Structure 1
Amino acid sequence: MRIRTAAAATAGALALLSFLTPAAQADTSKGDTVFTELLFSKKTVNVGVSAAQTLTVTATAKDGSGIKDIYGAKLVSSDDRIVHAGSADCTRPTSTTRKCVFKFTPDADRTDYYDLKNSSAGTWHFTAEAAANDGDFYDLEDSAPVKVKRYAKLANTQASPEPVAKGGTLTVTGTLTRANWDTNVYAGYGSRSVALQFKKSGSSTYTTVKTVTTDSSGKLKTTVAANSAGTWRWKFAGSSTTSTVTAYGDGVALK
């Protein structure tokens, strides 16, 4: 951060994380100023192509002389994409502390520099600086990470024929897509491993039967033996840049 002047922090959210001690190599500080707590509303923020996601970060800083303010709150991606806080609600719980709740809205459907790009998906960091009344400071740069991922979709599972003879062959299909932040459309996610799961009638538990790889268009297709009545579904575990997703299941009866 390096510039310690105006602009009272406004910022927002992401992760169920408690930050209680100074960390990370890139953080810098002077004197006894510390961030005593950082609370993120989500560990992972999954962003689609048309609706901005709301995230909040609650930051509390402390110094013996008191905290003047928390400045420059923003989210920064590994490729230097930036989301500034849209609002901030700050209070002074004690004479030595300052607490601010920052609100962010990552959005792929913008027309300016702050529009998300595919290259930005992955690990982001919340950055801010706590400035004390005696000139001390803590510059938070690299110790508060959060995942910002491309939202994935799985089309409803389709299993046929329905009903099927016991021991007969079922063909199960589906399609995996994910948000393309560059073009603001959902596109097929190819060469991904997706689990085909089955829940026997009367059970509440799904079990993975096999793993199938999507084709270049994100399509899934496989065959299985229908030995019991129940529900079939697809489940994608996600990746470092893409969200997890589970398709609606398709119930199949035996005849």
Structure 2
Amino acid sequence: MLFVVVSGFPISRVRSILTGVWYNDSYRIAALLPLVAVLLAAVGVEWICHNPYLSQLFKRVFRRSGSGIRRSGLRNALQYALAAVLVAVAVVVGQVGGVNKEVEQAASKYALSADSPLVSSDELAIFQRLHNDVPQDAILIGNPYTGASLSYALGDRKSAQLHILSYVSPDLQEIYDHLDAVSKDPAVCRAVRSEHSYYVLDFGLLEVHGGNHTPAGLARLDQNPGVQLVDSQGNAKLYKITACGAS
């Protein structure tokens, strides 16, 4: 049941409640399926081959055909062949819909458009212009769930988190939590200097997984007096932290 829910249900609160954190990954559950599926398949094949109703059905078919087939060995062979065909058809039919759905879902995450969840066309344009404003050795702050961490791959500027599970240092956590107070909290500037992170990517609230993981300090950057807008295109914005002096 867990595999059906995590593979077939859209990402939602209901799915999270039913599957929890660990079982939200369908591949973890899929790895356990063969242990049960092989046993169930064996039981199913055995049932088909020894089902009295099917045996009687075969006998009636053989009598009506007038073929004169009487040998039980041939009847058994036909039963096994039928079972194999049924199993093969079930496997193929069961996989087609799931595979197509996975391809469709993956394509929707990676296709480039104005509102694509991983990287939008506006965000890609910002990445491609990073070299104009951001020094080569700078470390970019941003919410990795919005695709901001791809600045390293697409803009040749390293991000503080290379992916959503990257290690977050205490200084980086300080920035994430309190950048909104950078103008009046010296601890934030110490963290900014330590991380050499004077630039912030703001790609809005659209996340690739459909959640909301915006750090408190990165919310409402447009109202933060300690940062300055450097570049923007659509909803994608690049800010420079000015409250901590020169980078």
What TM-score results when the alignment is normalised by the length of structure 2? 0.24
Which structure exhibits the higher relative contact order, with contacts defined as CA atoms closer than 8 Å and separated by 6 or more residues? 1
| Larger strand proportion of the pair | 1
Q: TM-score, normalising length from structure 1?
A: 0.23
Mark the structure with the bigger radius of gyration.
2
Which structure features the higher share of helix residues? 2
